[in-house]
Structure 1
Amino acid sequence: MIQKDASLNVLGTDLAPCSNHPVTGYFRDGHCNTCPQDHGSHTVCAVMTAEFLAYSKYVGNDLSTPRPESGFPGLTPGDAWCLCAARFLQAHDEGCAPRINLSATHQRALDVVNLNILQDHAL
């Protein structure tokens, strides 16, 4: 059985839900929970924008195309999604990072992204 890391956010409080419509998270539990097996660190609760979705597709991770065979509906602007911390940082460096929900962003995101950067993109 996979052991989840403590469900704490970057503010040091209980991790809030990110999204159940569409359902997100490494564990598909609606939260940006993580564990050592989550090599992508799906820990940043990001609210999708058209600009970010186009950027993500351009760099090889198409989040907007539905994949019914995997139960993935495809994301649209306004959807919240547990994003890989490194992808968020990459988008930040390129000037197209989405807004994020700090209370739903797992504290493990801080292993990759500085808190000041996260706060700069907070909703």
Structure 2
Amino acid sequence: MSDQKNVHGTTLTQHTLNAGFHKDGFCRTSPNDKRNLTIAATLTHSFLQCEYGDDDYKGLKAGDKTCISAYDFRQAIKEMGPDTAPKVDLNATHDKALNVIGLDELKKYAGKRR
């Protein structure tokens, strides 16, 4: 795990339990992860409404921590606006998320928001 880096270039931290592509709580990826489940998110009601019907989010509720697709994150912002985005833990977000969305954009959603 020590070779896994977050968006700051430091060691990736665990976000939660039993989440992510590898189901180990780390939002890390591999070549088989076509969805890029690299963003460590605390889900919001707005994001879940945007993703309604997506089986990957079935059973989750606002406030739950999970690893989400960088593509879903970007698409939610594009389609529904910035208030849709979940809160992001940058220390637990894998650096491969930067292949899809920029660090400056991710920083807008870091930590606590209103």
TM-score, normalising length: structure 1: 0.81
SS at match of 2:67: strand
Q: State which of 46, 67, 85 in structure 2 corresponds to 1:82.
A: 67
Structure 2: where are the runs of 5+ without partners?
Answer: none
CA RMSD between the two structures: 1.5
Is the 1:53–1:62 contact (alpha carbons within 8 Å) kept by the matching residues of 2? no
What is the aligned-residue identity percentage? 38
Per-residue CA deviation, residues 85-115 of structure 1 (Å, 9 max, x unaligned), is 0100111222111110000000000000011
CA distance in 2, matches of 1:105, 1:63: 18
Quote the offset at 1:62 in angstroms: 4.1
- Mapping for residues 28-47 of structure 1, pairs under 5 Å: 28-47=23-42
AA aligned to 2:49 is: A
Structure 1: where are the runs of 5+ without partners?
Answer: 66-73
Greater C-alpha Rg: 1
Structure 1 residue ranges, 4+ long, deviating more than 2 angstroms after superposition? 62-65
AA aligned to 1:46 is: A
Quote the offset at 1:18 in angstroms: 1.2
- Number of residue pairs the alignment of both structures matches: 107
